[in-house]
């Protein structure tokens, strides 16, 4: 199979030096790439800015903003059999990016924000026979919110994890199916979890 995998955070700039982002390390996405390569799959990695070297043997597209990630994913997905969307994209961006650096004024400032492109939803809406695995990092009502995300973004499966996964070398996840059923639970290092998830997918699609 040829698999698209997204990893890491995205950045949305307030001005030329400041940006909104999150603490995603990219470890989960990069571990998924390594697991897929070990099984003999072709991998396209679309990665936000992380301090990790891309695994050898995959096609790499480095991006910064959510819009850039969307463009790279839409193009790559056309030639892939499926996608695993492990990136932690920014949900909002400033309406206007200030040129230069916002100066301190001694008082509060207000920054108007709008939603960014929904990369996973667009891939789900255009999958046309391809499979889509999403990731949901949830804190409150986690299973309910993960299932809402699965259905809203037209995923085939969604991997539920919690805030403790951010920046960690380990993860604890639950794989949920389209009808809300719990299919698998895995825990351990992110490499171990990645091996389990890719092994699960490999069993279903490698012979198709």
Phi and psi angles of residue 195, each rounded to the nearest 5 degrees, phi first: -60, -40
**Which residues have C-beta within 8 Å of that of residue 140, sequence separation ≥ 6?**
none
Q: Choose the catalytic residue: 22, 141, 171, 192.
A: 22
Distance CA 173, CA 150 (A): 15
Q: How far is CA 150 from CA 10, 109, 146, 163, in A?
A: 21, 36, 6, 18
DSSP for 98-126 reads: PSS-PPP-SS-----EEE---HHHHHHHT
22 is a catalytic site residue: yes
Active centre residues (catalytic):
22
């Amino acid at each position: 199979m040829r698999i698209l995998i997204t990893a890491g955070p995205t950045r949305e700039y307030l001005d030329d030096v400041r940006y909104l982002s999150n603490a995603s390390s990219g470890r989960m996405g990069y571990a998924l790439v390594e697991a897929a390569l070990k099984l003999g799959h072709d991998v396209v990695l679309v990665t936000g800015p992380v301090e990790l070297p891309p695994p050898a043997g995959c096609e790499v597209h480095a991006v910064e903003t959510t819009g850039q990630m969307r463009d790279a994913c839409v193009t790559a997905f056309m030639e892939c059999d499926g996608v695993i969307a492990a990136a932690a994209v920014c949900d909002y961006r400033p309406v206007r990016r200030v040129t230069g650096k916002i100066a301190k004024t001694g008082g509060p400032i207000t920054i108007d924000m709008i939603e960014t492109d929904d990369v996973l939803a667009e891939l789900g809406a255009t999958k046309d026979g391809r499979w889509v695995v999403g990731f949901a990092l949830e804190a409150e009502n986690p299973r309910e919110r993960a299932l809402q995300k699965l259905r809203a973004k037209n995923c085939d499966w969604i991997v539920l994890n919690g805030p403790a996964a951010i920046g960690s070398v380990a993860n604890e996840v639950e794989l949920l199916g389209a009808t809300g059923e719990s299919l698998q639970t895995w825990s351990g290092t992110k490499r171990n979890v990645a091996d389990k998830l890719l092994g699960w997918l490999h069993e279903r699609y490698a012979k198709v």
